[in-house]
Structure 1
Amino acid sequence: MSLIDCIIEESNIYQAIHTLKSNKGSKTPGVNGETISDILKIEDEIVKRIKYDLKGRYTPGMVKRVEIPKEDGEFRPLGIPNIYDRLVQLCFKQVLEPVVEKSFHKNSFGFRPRRSTEHAIATCYHMVNIAKLHFVVDIDIKGFFDNINHKKLIKQLQRFKSIDKKTLSIIKRMLKVETVLQNKDIIQSEKGTPQGGILSPLLANIVLNELDWWIYKQWLGLKTKREYSTLGNKERALRDTNLTEVRIVRYADDFKLFCRDRGSAEKMFKLVKVFLKDRLKLEISEKKSKIVNLRKEFSIFLGIKFKAVKNRKRLTVRSYVSDKARKAILNLIRQEIKELQKRRTALQVLKFNSVILGIQNYYRIATMVNMDFRKIGYIVNKSLINRIGKPSGKKDNKYKLRYKGYNFQVWNVAETTIFTLQAIKFKIPKLFSAKKKIQKEEKQIEIIEIEDPQIRAILRFQKNSTCEVTGKYIAGNDNFYVHRLVPKEHGGSDDLENLMLLDSSFKTLLKSENREDYYKDNENYAKILKTLSKYK
């Protein structure tokens, strides 16, 4: 079973439709003016059409280019495909992501399952507090999404043996799609992938994954003649050499290199500039790229600015909401207050409160968030007085429960209390831990393995859609059973070596009393019975 067969599985397409339906962007029309509502009207026909198109010669429609103004006066180009093409891209993403995800570096955090901006910021704090790397190389890639080299990307995709020629040829067509500019001119894409396409972030990670591993091999991943019992021992030995200590933290195309001294930082700045140009065919923005000494100045990452300050005898991280982010937060809240002034309903207050919660949840990992939000809150309170009126002093039960211990003045609209931005405390960001995530989500994984069509399709693909006892081909995504040789409670994993793809009839057969009477000469069946006996 090829990868394209997994992509055109009906269960995969239906899942993509329902995932896209919950996406806010699904209501944004492309060139043809259609939205998700047009897809939902003829859902079954769309599934058949996708299967037919991808089996034949699928040709993506044109992409609508929109220029989004930035604060610095420049514009960020956004490419919006037609809703049908976005759906096709999502079908690809659902199947491609598990295939390529295993190859990604651990310090890449953008647009990846179970990873977040919190993990990226926590890793930066770790570099300052624990690794004591206080020089940062800030690199800005010039127009990254618009300048991705198609030939290079296809070569990188070809390294994955499971990605077949048919899948590659369709991705090539997606990359070469025509773009309609705002002045109605049409251009052919010779490079880049639309920033706004569903598949684009995954393709971007594939491109920059090569950079991640190259940086890793400069220091921690360097092959040494001697083997070390721990990574710490290896690091100590490497520091006695002339090698350059460097580590990367990346979120999509935004990344930082952490170094021990200015000389190392200057060296890595030059090397990375050459690597990006020669290997990935990308240029850096000299104006926006620089070396930062964290002991003297701030480095900005994902809306948070941080530096190393002296705390008793050692240097530790101190972070704030960035100036640009503070301005954006204030503008957003002012706009929400205007909306609340127009519609003084409980529903509008709930919308306002959800905005406040979203801001608090994101920025609470800045160590000085309390101080930053007090400054913003002072201006917000003035705006509330001007547009809503004087504070009431009454607090509803939801407010009391969420902001217990705070004593800020409050406003009520439609008997609903408005949440307070400055009622916040710093939360220590957590480093990403794959093991903890697996333990925490173990019960969910049990359900996913049985019901999730995407996971089932990938397992079926990896096992060649063949029952490992009978050797017969299994048709359909609902006619097989995935058996763990070593159960989870005994340390069993979801790695391929521990999973067996079986015909669905084995789920009942393996529970029967006379199961030993079947398939007596079959090696795989004997292996299953042996483990069942061992872990009963």
Structure 2
Amino acid sequence: MPNEKKPKTKCVEYLRHAEYYDMQSTFDELYARSQAGEIFENLMDVILSRENILLAYRNIKSNTGSITPGTDKLKISDIGKLTADEVTARVRKIVKGAKNGYTPRSVRRKDIPKPNGNTRPLGIPCIWDRLVQQCIKQVMEPICEARFSNNSYGFRPNRSVENAIAAIYRLMQKSGLHYVVEFDIKGFFDNVDHSKLIKQLWSLNIRDKELLYVIRRILKAPILMPDGNTEHPTKGTPQGGIISPLLANVVLNELDHWIESQWQCNPVTENYAYRENAAGCPIQSHAYRAMRNTRLKEMYIVRYADDFRILCRTREQADRTLIAVTQWLKERLRLDVSPEKTRVVDVRRSYSEFLGFKIRLRKKGKKYVVQSHMCDKAYKKVKASLTKQVGNIKFPRKGRGEAGEVRLFNSMVMGIQNYYQLATDISIDCGDIGRTVNTVLKNRLKSGKTHRLKKEGRDLTKTEIQRYGKSEQLRYIVQSKEPIYPISYVQCKNPMSQRRKVCAYTAAGRSEIHDDLRINTFLLLQLMRAPTYSRSTEYADNRISLFSAQWGKCAVTGKKFQCISEIHCHHKKPKGIGGRDKYENLVLVLAPVHELIHAVDEDTIRSYLTALKLDTSQLTKLNKLRTLAKRKPIDLEKPNLTNNSHNGMTKETKKSV
């Protein structure tokens, strides 16, 4: 049917990036080999390949942390100014060319305040070391993912807090596990044993000794403290390092599998048939029924990074589990738990906290159902941060303005609602917060007897209409006419379990969440590998994005590019007058179109117009680009097309891809 809408293309950003640089097939192969139990002894060639290094640059560039400088004061934008060949050569020299092997620069320590008054130490590596870590992470991740537990949800592709909360809800309510063992590892990231970690990587079949040496040097990178002193760590992984979350999961993966071996994956289960549910999870009811007649402890783990909970069926099992796991962590991983924060909770009588939620079971008829809220610390923090931001709306900070402060307030509201909407009683919590915030809004945003809040303002966007359009609580600032999102207008969302079929490193698993590129990928890869000579890495990277965004077509004529020589990357604002290699300043056009954008000679313009045969719409697009390039628009109705009195063309038209 002519009016039928095309299905929206599914796209996961990091998977699309891997396609751009032709690394997805390499990652798929590493994942398959790891699943098959193969040993990896030569990974450095893949890590230091040109495609992997440029992919690492792209992934870091899209990360908000890329603008944070390390001890060398450099940012990702400084790397982007170099050519692709210079970046590749520099990374290889840093890793392999140093006299004493890879030697990372000192890590900048930054203390982040916590709600309880303490601080969380972050270690921020310099940007070149972050690039090296990203190169390693990209190659190690598919190998480790094949060996990681399904009960781990933190810092892993296609897994989230929502999946972890869904698992907790399911085990409490559907499986009837009413005892939760809460664990708190003392300073986990500061106490990881380096030697143990290297052995764990070896047991995952990562046996490239050069790579293990580099990882050990990353772990032992000196730390520049705020007071100017330098410390040399003997244990721990720096929070803030790109590779640290992956290494943390490697450390605790052994715990996951040990817990699973006690019940979920006990050898007894292999003797019984099972089936899979819609999400791909095995249902092993027959095996579990038989095991309940033994003295085995029934336990299930749900872990998000270093924060984990173990659920048991009886108090006795929970008490025994607490002792056993505490002892195991000490003996196997050399980690201590905090006695005051480690406890057994009967969730029928009191709340258990996990990932910012407090969760319990309440009686409903003959059954128990989950009831959850924002935890008390989060509740107080949210209320305080929103009321503080209201004060900033009244007295805007320098450089922001009232509209900027309102937009920041709205982004805070949406972020809070998006995260905590998994709580069953989120409407109650946000309703209480909303009453306080609304009172502060009315009192602060009042001038004499007049209020600065009205029920009318600017037109809402499509997203705003969908989310807040029916709310009676929506108000607008009188001066800027910006809406103030109501924190209390939120509804509980049922958390979704992680789909076992989804996998970033198999074609079938990717098809659930991601569609392959529907453009000429052969030409895309040619474009990616084409030399850019003196052009910057940022220019080369954005050129690939443009080819995909424009569906492999010229931005003016709409014709598909047929070969690499046809593709010209045009600066909307020429570099000679201050234009940069930013994505928004670039556009891909056919070679003759590029000539026509910059042409000033009447005969040249007429010859290209005759060859291209542009229609009115295409000519309008062309004239917009000519105007930005400080060229007069072409008017076909005038004898003198541009009223230019001089001839000549700029050097930029001679520069192809």
Report if TM-score (shorter chain) is over 0.5.
Answer: yes
Match of 1:55 among 82, 96, 106: 96
Aligned with 1:336: secondary structure? helix
How far is 1:344 from its partner?
Answer: 4.7
How far is 1:349 from its partner?
Answer: 3.3
1:430 matched to 2:430: no
Give the aligned residue type for 2:318.
A
Give the superposed CA RMSD. 2.2
How much identity, in percent, do the aligned residues show? 42
Runs of at least 5 residues in structure 1 that lack an aligned partner in the other structure: 453-536
1:397 matched to 2:437: no
Q: Distance in 1 between matches of 2:104 and 2:518?
A: 31
Q: Distance in 2 between matches of 1:192 and 1:3?
A: 24
Aligned with 1:397: secondary structure? coil
Q: Distance in 2 between matches of 1:247 and 1:367?
A: 23
Structure 1's 275 and 43: CA in aligned 2 closer, same or farther, altered over 3 A? farther
Partner of 2:435: 378
Q: Distance in 1 between matches of 2:56 and 2:145?
A: 19
Aligned with 2:255: secondary structure? helix
Partner of 1:408: 473
Structure 1's 141 and 450: CA in aligned 2 closer, same or farther, altered over 3 A? farther
Partner of 2:203: 159
Once the two structures are superposed, residues 382-439 of structure 1 have per-residue CA deviations (whole angstroms, 9 ceiling, x without a partner) of 2222333433122643344322443225233522211111111101000101326766
How far is 1:284 from its partner?
Answer: 0.7
Query: What pairs up with 1:238-253 in 2 under 5 angstroms?
Result: 238-253=291-306
Once the two structures are superposed, residues 464-513 of structure 1 have per-residue CA deviations (whole angstroms, 9 ceiling, x without a partner) of xxxxxxxxxxxxxxxxxxxxxxxxxxxxxxxxxxxxxxxxxxxxxxxxxx
How far is 1:377 from its partner?
Answer: 0.7
Give the aligned residue type for 1:361.
N
Partner of 2:173: 129
Partner of 1:306: 359
Aligned with 2:475: secondary structure? coil
Which moves more between the two structures, 434-443 or 61-70?
434-443
Query: What pairs up with 1:253-292 in 2 under 5 angstroms?
Result: 253-292=306-345
Partner of 1:294: 347
1:352 matched to 2:409: yes
1:19 matched to 2:59: yes
Q: Distance in 1 between matches of 2:159 and 2:168?
A: 14
8 A contact 2:474–2:485 mirrored in 1: no
Structure 1's 242 and 297: CA in aligned 2 closer, same or farther, altered over 3 A? same
Aligned with 1:279: secondary structure? helix
Equivalenced residue count is: 452
Give the aligned residue type for 1:314.
K
Which moves more between the two structures, 185-194 or 25-34?
25-34
How far is 1:451 from its partner?
Answer: 6.6
Match of 1:120 among 159, 164, 175: 164
Partner of 1:472: none
Which moves more between the two structures, 280-289 or 106-115?
280-289
Q: Distance in 1 between matches of 2:270 and 2:128?
A: 55
Q: Which of these two proteins has the greater Rg computed from alpha carbons? A: 2
Which moves more between the two structures, 53-62 or 320-329?
53-62
Aligned with 1:411: secondary structure? strand
Which moves more between the two structures, 69-78 or 204-213?
69-78
How far is 1:139 from its partner?
Answer: 0.6
Structure 1's 43 and 24: CA in aligned 2 closer, same or farther, altered over 3 A? farther
8 A contact 2:298–2:317 mirrored in 1: yes
How far is 1:335 from its partner?
Answer: 3.6
Partner of 2:213: 169
Query: What pairs up with 1:325-364 in 2 under 5 angstroms?
Result: 325-341=378-394, 342=396, 343-364=400-421
1:8 matched to 2:71: no
Which moves more between the two structures, 45-54 or 270-279?
45-54
1:421 matched to 2:487: yes
How far is 1:226 from its partner?
Answer: 6.9
Match of 2:191 among 147, 172, 196: 147
Which moves more between the two structures, 214-223 or 376-385?
376-385
Partner of 2:30: none
Which moves more between the two structures, 374-383 or 19-28?
19-28
Q: Distance in 2 between matches of 1:7 and 1:287?
A: 43
Partner of 1:525: none
Q: Distance in 1 between matches of 2:265 and 2:520?
A: 37
Give the aligned residue type for 1:423.
Y
How far is 1:346 from its partner?
Answer: 4.3
